[in-house]
Amino acid sequence: MSRIKILVVDDHQLIVNGIKAMLEPIEDFIIIGAANNGNEAISKAGDLNPDVIIMDISMPGLSGIEASKIIVKNNPEIKILALTQHEDSEYVLQMLNAGAFGYLLKNSRKDEFIDAIISVSKGEKYFSKKISNLLISNMLQEKKTDLTVNEKKITLTKREREITKKIAEELSSQQIADELGISLRTVETHRRNIMQKLNVKSAVSLFRYAVQNQFITLQ
């Protein structure tokens, strides 16, 4: 098994040094670089082609959210793991919408950190237990969202359920088409039909629906 190439992005050098000190002794990992802001992260992602980027959110200039959007657009094979102090669900959803595969808090345990890196490197979603509980709690407490449909009256076809799951997992329409062996036009048609059926207007709302209906699970 090849080692997981990691790029560390944080505007505090002490944090960068701490992450390096923690991960460098682990045989499965190799730290190939570090960046201290969003613009530098974009540049190094293109130059170094890491498997996983450990991404801070709040940085001077370009935020980790905006940087993640650009990196995922330019290098969709790179997996981003947010590592931040922000516990607000809105930050979590913004990072997911930007293409991140995981979200950890900076006070996470070492073993959880390692598990998260390995999981996202495989293309699996990973959330710390605290973040998972926060998302689920917020979804249960929401009284009014753009998901104003009566779920019992909505029936998705098997294919629509498959596509909903993959959209929620942040796959592009082309990636979905390739995985399911169907045309890009067919995927786009299904996507429009799903959004209309569920009366949702964003990928974030579709993610919520997928979690609530157990199309995908939070770690």
22 and 104 share one domain = yes
Boundary residue ending a domain (88, 106, 140): 140
**Statement to judge: residues 40 and 118 lie in one domain:** yes
Considering the chain, what is the average pLDDT of its residues? Answer: 85
Given a contact cutoff of 8 angstroms between Cβ atoms, the answer to whether 2 and 119 are in contact is no
Q: What is the CA radius of gyration of the chain?
A: 18
In a domain, 218, yes or no: no
Which of 86, 120, 140 is at the close of a domain?
140
Residues of the chain with pLDDT under 50: 143-152, 219
Same-domain status, 136 and 70: yes
The model carries a pTM of: 0.64
| Span 18-49, pLDDT tens digits | 999 999 999 999 999 999 999 999 999 999 99
Q: Give domain status of residue 217, yes or no.
A: no
**Residues ≥6 apart with Cβ < 8 Å to 4:** 28, 29, 30, 51, 52, 117, 118, 121
Overall domain count for the chain = 2
Same structural domain for residues 82 and 156? Answer: no
Neighbours of 59 (CB within 10 A): 23
Give a yes or no: residue 145 inside a domain.
no
Rounded-to-10 torsion of CA 70, 180, 212, 138: 0
Single out the residue of 110, 103, 38 nearest to residue 67, CA to CA. Answer: 38
Beta carbons of 56 and 67 less than 8 angstroms apart = no
Which of the listed residues 140, 167, 195 is the one where a domain comes to its end?
A: 140
Q: Is residue 96 part of a domain?
A: yes
| 109 shares a domain with 47 | yes
Instruction: Tell me the per-residue pLDDT of 143-175, one tens digit each, with 9 for 90 and over.
Output: 444 444 444 456 778 888 888 888 877 788 899
Q: Range of 37's domain?
A: 4-140
Query: Is the domain of 73 the same as that of 174?
Result: no
